[in-house]
Chains A and B, each alone.
Chain A
Amino acid sequence: MVDFVQNLISGVAVGCIYALAGLGFVLIYKSSRVINFANGQFIAIGAFMAYALAVWVKLPVLLAALLAMLLTAGLGFLVERVFLRRLVGQPIISVIMVTIGLASVLDGLMYLTPFGSGNFTFPQFLPQGGLSLGGVNVSYPQLLAIGFTAIFLVLFSWFFQRSVLGVSMRAVADDQMAAMSVGVSVQQVFALAWAVAGLTAAAAGIVVGAVSGLNQDGLIAIGLAVFPAVILGGLDSVPGAVVGGIIIGVLQSFSTAYLDGLFSQIGLVGGGSQYVMPFVVLLVMLWFKPHGLFGTEEIERV
Chain B
Amino acid sequence: MHPEDLGPILLEVNNIEVVYKDIIQVLRGVSLKVPEGQITALLGPNGAGKTTTLRAISGLLVPEDGQVVSGSILYRGENIANKPPEQIVLKGIVQVPEGRRVFKHLTVEENLRVGAVTRRDGAKVREDLERIYHYFPKLALIKTRLAGYCSGGEQQMLAIGRALLANPKLLLLDEPSLGLAPLLVREIFDIVAQINAEEGVTVLVVEQNARVALSVAHYGYIMESGRIALEGTREYLETNPDVKEFYLGVAKSGGRKSYKDVKSYRRRKRFM
Which A residues have a C-beta under 8 Å from some C-beta of B?
A: 89, 164-165, 167-168, 170-171, 173-185, 296, 299, 301
Q: How large is the interface on B (under 10, 10 to 19, 20 to 34, 35 or more residues)?
A: 35 or more
Question: Are A181 and B97 CB-contacts (below 8 A) given A167-B110, A174-B106, A296-B105?
Answer: yes
Q: Does B86 contact A (CB under 8 A)?
A: yes
Q: Does B2 contact A (CB under 8 A)?
A: no
CA distance A180 to B61 in the complex (A): 11
Shortest beta-carbon distance from A207 to chain B in Å: 31
Which B residues have a C-beta under 8 Å from some C-beta of A?
A: 58-60, 62-63, 65, 84-86, 89-90, 94-97, 101-106, 110-111, 113-118, 146, 148-149, 159, 162-163, 165-166
Q: Once the chains bind, are B106 and A178 in contact (CB under 8 Å)? A: no
Question: Are A171 and B86 CB-contacts (below 8 A) given A176-B63, A177-B101, A183-B117?
Answer: no
Contact of A182 among B65, B104, B118, B146 (CB under 8 A): B118
Q: Once the chains bind, are A89 and B63 in contact (CB under 8 Å)? A: yes
15 additional contacts (CB under 8 A) given A168-B117, A180-B63, A181-B101: A89-B65, A167-B106, A167-B113, A170-B103, A171-B110, A173-B105, A174-B103, A175-B101, A177-B97, A178-B102, A179-B103, A180-B62, A183-B85, A183-B118, A299-B148
Q: Once the chains bind, are B114 and A182 in contact (CB under 8 Å)? A: yes
- Write the chain B residue with the least CB distance to A179: B114
CA distance A234 to B166 in the complex (A): 33
Residues of B within 8 A of A177 (CB): 60, 63, 97, 101
Question: Are A168 and B114 CB-contacts (below 8 A) given A178-B101, A180-B85, A299-B148?
Answer: yes
Shortest beta-carbon distance from B272 to chain A in Å: 18
Q: Once the chains bind, are B117 and A174 in contact (CB under 8 Å)? A: no
Q: Once the chains bind, are B105 and A181 in contact (CB under 8 Å)? A: no
Question: Are A167 and B114 CB-contacts (below 8 A) given A175-B101, A180-B60?
Answer: yes
A-B contact pairs, 26 of them (CB 8 A): A165-B117, A167-B114, A168-B114, A168-B117, A170-B110, A174-B103, A174-B105, A174-B106, A175-B102, A178-B97, A180-B60, A181-B96, A182-B94, A182-B114, A182-B117, A182-B118, A182-B166, A183-B85, A183-B94, A184-B86, A184-B114, A184-B117, A296-B105, A299-B146, A299-B148, A301-B148
CA distance A198 to B116 in the complex (A): 28
- Write the chain B residue with the least CB distance to A183: B89
Question: Are A182 and B106 CB-contacts (below 8 A) given A171-B114, A177-B60?
Answer: no
Q: Once the chains bind, are A181 and B95 in contact (CB under 8 Å)? A: yes
Residues of A within 8 A of B95 (CB): 181
Q: Once the chains bind, are A164 and B117 in contact (CB under 8 Å)? A: yes
Residues of A within 8 A of B114 (CB): 164, 167-168, 171, 179, 182, 184
Of listed A180, A181, A301, residue having the most chain B CB within 10 A: A181
- Write the chain B residue with the least CB distance to A89: B65
Shortest beta-carbon distance from B97 to chain A in Å: 5
Q: Once the chains bind, are A301 and B149 in contact (CB under 8 Å)? A: yes
Residues of A within 8 A of B165 (CB): 182
CA distance A245 to B237 in the complex (A): 64
Of listed A170, A173, A183, A301, residue having the most chain B CB within 10 A: A183
Q: Once the chains bind, are B104 and A299 in contact (CB under 8 Å)? A: yes
CA distance A159 to B182 in the complex (A): 41
Residues of A within 8 A of B84 (CB): 185
Shortest beta-carbon distance from A50 to chain B in Å: 34
CA distance A165 to B111 in the complex (A): 13
- Write the chain A residue with the least CB distance to B155: A301
Shortest beta-carbon distance from A32 to chain B in Å: 13
Residues of B within 8 A of A296 (CB): 105
Shortest beta-carbon distance from A84 to chain B in Å: 16
Residues of A within 8 A of B104 (CB): 174-175, 299
Residues of B within 8 A of A185 (CB): 84, 86
CA distance A181 to B51 in the complex (A): 13
Q: Once the chains bind, are B106 and A183 in contact (CB under 8 Å)? A: no
Shortest beta-carbon distance from B113 to chain A in Å: 6
- Write the chain B residue with the least CB distance to A299: B148
Residues of B within 8 A of A164 (CB): 113-114, 116-117
Residues of B within 8 A of A180 (CB): 59-60, 62-63, 85-86
- Write the chain B residue with the least CB distance to A170: B106
Residues of B within 8 A of A178 (CB): 97, 101-103, 159
Residues of A within 8 A of B85 (CB): 180-181, 183
Q: Once the chains bind, are B106 and A181 in contact (CB under 8 Å)? A: no
Contact of B162 among A173, A174, A182 (CB under 8 A): A182
Q: Which 4 A-B pairs have the closest CB atoms?
A: A299-B148, A183-B89, A178-B101, A183-B118
Shortest beta-carbon distance from B117 to chain A in Å: 5
Residues of A within 8 A of B118 (CB): 182-183
